[in-house]
């Protein structure tokens, strides 16, 4: 389950608890897109992943160039192998990004005594009124 789905489920649970009278719920929200664009640690991981992907693609292109006698089947096999490797690289870097973001959010949520933190971007807000914007704090933690 990706991070945005987890955040949305958490928001739904928090709102449900708030409306059923189970006590007050402290909701925080973060603009995930802004964090991805501005947090240096996140940008570094994304840049590293992009570089690795480019290297793999170049490696395959060079391999194909250096073997002009390869059949279409061999070329196709090399490209398929590269695709599998690219998927693995994407998953590894996505996991790193999610881990870094989750760590920062957990610390901030504990510091601010938030019960839940949701992704609420300006273009698609989940929290329309109230809540605590922790976007700046997340970016600061990911310096």
Predicted confidence (pLDDT) at residue 2 exceeds the cutoff of 90: no
Show the CA angle centred on residue 88, arms to residues 82 and 92, nearest 5°.
145
Three-state DSSP class for residue 32: helix
| The CATH homologous superfamily of the domain defined by 3-15+23-141 | Skp domain (3.30.910.20)
More confident residue, 113 or 7: 113
Predicted confidence (pLDDT) at residue 128 exceeds the cutoff of 90: no
The answer to whether the beta carbons of residues 120 and 127 sit under 8 Å apart is yes
Q: What is the CA radius of gyration of the chain?
A: 21
pLDDT, tens only, 12-25: 665 565 555 556 88
Q: What is the pTM of this model?
A: 0.72
Confidence tier at 134 by pLDDT (50, 70, 90): very high
Predicted confidence (pLDDT) at residue 127 exceeds the cutoff of 90: no
The set of residues, in sequence order, having a beta carbon less than 8 Å from that of 89 and lying 6+ positions away, is: 49, 52, 53, 56
Distance CA 43, CA 55 (A): 18
Q: Write down the domain spans for the chain.
A: 3-15+23-141
Predicted confidence (pLDDT) at residue 29 exceeds the cutoff of 80: yes
The answer to whether the beta carbons of residues 127 and 8 sit under 8 Å apart is no
Distance CA 107, CA 92 (A): 23
Tokens representing 75? 């070329």
Predicted confidence (pLDDT) at residue 102 exceeds the cutoff of 90: yes
Q: What is the pLDDT of residue 93?
A: 95
Q: What is the pLDDT of residue 67?
A: 95
Distance CA 134, CA 32 (A): 10
């Amino acid at each position: 389950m990706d991070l945005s789905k987890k955040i949305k489920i958490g928001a739904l649970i928090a709102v449900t608890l708030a409306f059923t009278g189970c006590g007050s719920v402290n909701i925080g929200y973060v603009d995930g897109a802004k964090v991805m664009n501005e947090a240096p640690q996140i940008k570094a991981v994304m840049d590293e992943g992009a570089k690795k992907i480019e290297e793999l693609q170049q490696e395959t292109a060079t391999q194909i160039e250096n073997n002009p006698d390869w059949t279409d089947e061999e070329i196709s096999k090399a490209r398929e192998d590269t695709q599998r490797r690219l998927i693995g690289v994407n998953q590894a870097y996505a996991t790193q990004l999610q881990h870094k973001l989750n760590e920062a959010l957990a610390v901030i949520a504990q510091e601010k005594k938030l019960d839940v933190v949701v992704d609420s971007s300006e273009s698609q807000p989940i929290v329309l009124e109230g809540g605590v914007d922790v976007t700046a704090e997340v970016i600061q933690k990911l310096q």
